Amino acid sequence: MKNALLVLCWFCCIGLNAQTVAFKNVNVIPMDGDYVRSLQTVLVENGVITQMGEAAEIKIPRQAKIIDGTGKYLMPGLMDMHVHFFTEQGIASKFMPQETKIMLANGVTTARIMCGDSQYLALKKQLDQGRIPGPELVVVSPQLVGKWPFRGPFFGVIADTPEKARAAVREFKAQGYAALKITFFVQPDVYDAAVETARAEGLPVTGHVGPDVGLDRALAAGQQIEHLDEFLEQLLPDTVKQRISVSGTSVWDKKKAWPTVDLLDVSKIPALVQRIKKAGISVTPTHYFLHSSFGYGQHEDSIRALPDFDYIPASLKPDRFKAREYFWTDPPPEALRKRYISLRQHLTRALYTAGVPLLCGSDSPEWFLVSGFSVHNELQAMVEAGLPPFAALETATVNPARYLGVDEQKGTIAVGKTADLLLLTANPLDDIANSRQIEGVFHQGKYYDRKTLDKLLKEARVLGKQ
Ligand SMILES: [Zn+2]
């Protein structure tokens, strides 16, 4: 009964989205350029931005709810392009709405779910209907793999023949997934069949690139690439026999893959970047996840002190620490790990300079990351890689909107666009860390003030007890 009341309550709040809301005297970061428009009023009606202009010139309707934006900054809601749920790691799916609360409370208004399942499609429907608070979900397909030698739950389809790949892709399309996700151990003929079918079905292709597929094949297919997979391999000198470096699952390979980092040749970066640029693809580096897990490492005390830590299900923590111990007991030498980070940053800078669209993806909840919190870590990592704060913010607003083909509705603040908005107490263009200074979030026609966001976070702490 209590639950039924809660659901009803949410329905009421969100059902009020017919109201008019005015953000008054606010500094707007429209994200169509690296600038701020100060002292604006932004009017939102039925969840759509209907007016924006000098505060003195915009007439606020009498019935409007006024949100005082004095000294504050309004920017588009964040889009995290690489997200999973704890469900993939065995946590009951009834806790998924707790994770969507955490995302929203951290300013994420769109999340691309990078490993599909029918229960995520059902969750998406609930979110779209405003039945639970959370971002809009873009759900890609279950992962298409060549084999699955790992333990634990598996959210994917094994395709070891072209026929199986074709059938799987058609099924993904029929079930309503937004894209085809390809990951591990896929053989070239299977890859080609999957990509060809995806093209015929109108499904974009995203995911990992394995050494069997190789970068050339993925670029020719126009695949959107995650994690900078197979990029470092391209920097191996031609004279080196070993063709595997630290991409994909090889990040665990301390014996063979890691020593190659010393050999990687930075003079090959410009040509590589041109190939990527020519392919016209978007790239999601997922820096923070990889750098914090395998690059600089984190002391156990600092992991326990992370704001994410209390939301990680207790039952998953022992395995997390075990995996960490496996890598960090006798880790690759510090010089190699530092070079790994700096090469990935160098590549990212070069991609950005060449105009390759970069996407912000947190890859949470991998390791000790929790969705929502970790999108800000990734923005910070983009700046550490050498992007100006504006460009870092583009990776979570303009670029994903364009990549997903929803730039008419999302990604910038302009009249006619959906009001997915973040109200901040400080300017993220001055310091990217200010993206965390969230005063309120506007999504699906509803304004969540700080108090409401804190309430959502408090409720979501139940996750940590699982
Ligand atoms: Zn992932």
From ligand 1's centre to the CA of 169, what distance in Å?
19
* Residue 426, token pair as written in the block: 């400080």
Q: Contact at 8 Å (CB) between 348 and 386?
A: yes
Domain contains 20? yes
The answer to the question of residue 426 being in a domain is: yes
For residue 327, the CA-to-ligand 1 centroid distance in Å is 19
Q: How far is the CA of 26 from the centre of ligand 1 (A)?
A: 36
pLDDT at 323 over 70: yes
Helix, strand, or coil here: 188?
helix
Predicted confidence (pLDDT) at residue 10 exceeds the cutoff of 50? no
Separation of CA 140 and ligand 1 centre (Å)? 11
pLDDT per position as a tens digit, 205-231: 999 999 999 999 999 999 999 999 999
Number of domains in the chain: 1
Q: What is the DSSP letter of 292?
A: I
Evaluate if residue 289 carries a pLDDT over 90: yes
Q: What is the pTM of this model?
A: 0.95
Strand order in the sheet with 108-113: 78-83, 108-113, 136-139
> For residues 69 and 328, what is the distance between their CA atoms, to the nearest angstrom?
46
Does residue 29 lie within any of the structural domains?
Answer: yes
CB 445 within 8 A of CB 418: no
Residue 7 confidence (pLDDT): 41
Residue 203, φ and ψ in degrees, nearest 5 = -100, 125
Question: Mean pLDDT for the chain?
Answer: 95
CA of 399 to the centre of ligand 1 (A): 19
Distance 31 CA to ligand 1 centre (A): 27
How many A from CA of 54 to the centre of ligand 1? 43
Distance 350 CA to ligand 1 centre (A): 24
Q: How far is the CA of 384 from the centre of ligand 1 (A)?
A: 21
Query: What is the distance in A from the centroid of ligand 1 to the CA of 68?
Result: 38
The answer as to whether 39 is a domain residue is yes
Separation of 409 CA from ligand 1 center, angstroms? 26
| Residues 227-252: tens digit of each pLDDT | 999 999 999 999 999 899 999 999 99
* Alpha carbon of 181 to ligand 1 centroid (Å): 10
At which residue do the structure tokens 């126009």 appear? 222
Taking the centre of ligand 1 as the mean of its atom positions, its distance from the CA of residue 363, in whole angstroms, is: 5
Residue with tokens 């970069």: 358
Q: How far does the centroid of ligand 1 lie from the alpha carbon of residue 183, in Å?
A: 9
Ligand 1 geometric centre to CA of 66 (Å): 40
Q: What is the mean pLDDT of residues 261-271?
A: 98
CA 158–ligand 1 middle distance (angstroms): 17
pLDDT at 270 over 70: yes
Ligand 1 center–CA 83 separation, angstroms: 6
Which residue has 């929203």 as its token pair?
104
CA of 22 relative to ligand 1 center, distance in Å: 38
Count the helix, strand and coil residues of the chain and give each as a percent rounded to the nearest 5. 45, 20, 40
Indicate which CATH number applies to the domain containing 39: 2.30.40.10
Distance CA 79, CA 359 (A): 9
For ligand 1, the distance from its centroid to the CA atom of residue 102, given in whole angstroms, is 18
Distance (Å) from CA 121 to ligand 1 centroid: 17
Q: How far is the CA of 2 from the centre of ligand 1 (A)?
A: 35
**For the chain, percent of residues with pLDDT exceeding 90:** 94
Distance 367 CA to ligand 1 centre (A): 11
Please give the helix or strand (H or E) that residue 156 lies within, else none.
strand 156-158
265 in Cβ contact with 237 (< 8 Å):
yes
pLDDT tens track for 138-177: 999 999 999 999 888 899 999 999 999 999 999 999 999 9
Sign of dihedral through CA atoms 396, 397, 401, 402?
negative
* Helix residue ranges per DSSP H, 134-258: 162-175, 188-201, 214-221
Distance CA 290, CA 39 (A): 40
Task: Over range 32-59, report the average pLDDT.
Answer: 97
Closest CA to 396 of 417, 382, 385: 382
Residue 221 exposed, middle or buried by CB count within 10 Å (0-12, 13-18, 19+): buried
- Residue 66 resides in a domain: yes
Give the whole-angstrom CA distance, residue 104 versus residue 265. Answer: 41
Which residues sit opposite 364 in a β-bridge? 83
Judged against a pLDDT cut of 60, whether residue 16 lies above it is answered with: no
Burial of 61 (0-12, 13-18, 19+ CB in 10 A): exposed
pLDDT tens-digit series, residues 103-137 = 999 999 999 999 999 999 999 999 999 999 999 99
Query: No. of H helices and E strands in the chain?
Result: 15, 17
What DSSP character marks residue 332?
S
* Cα(271) to centroid(ligand 1), Å: 28
Mark residue 299 as left, alpha or beta (left: phi above 0; alpha: psi -120 to 50; beta: remaining). Answer: beta
The first and second tokens of residue 300, run together, are 């156990």
Q: Which domain holds residue 58?
A: 2-75+412-448
Task: Report if residue 231 sits inside a domain.
Answer: no
> Tell me: the pLDDT tens digits for 85-96?
999 999 999 999
Averaged pLDDT for residues 329-333:
96
Residue owning tokens 């979900």: 137
Helices (H), 208-248: 214-221
The reply to whether 466 falls in a domain is no
pLDDT per residue over 406-420, tens digit each? 999 999 999 999 999
Is it the case that residue 428 has pLDDT exceeding 80?
yes
Q: Tell me how far the alpha carbon of residue 4 lies from the centroid of ligand 1, in angstroms.
A: 34
- Going from the Cα of 371 to the center of ligand 1, the distance in angstroms, rounded, reads 12
Strands (E), 84-154: 108-113, 136-139, 143-145
- Residue 115 C-alpha to ligand 1 middle, in angstroms? 7
What's the rounded mean pLDDT across residues 49-74? 96
pLDDT reported for residue 141: 98
Instruction: Answer whether residue 361 is part of any domain.
Output: no
At 18 the pLDDT is 56
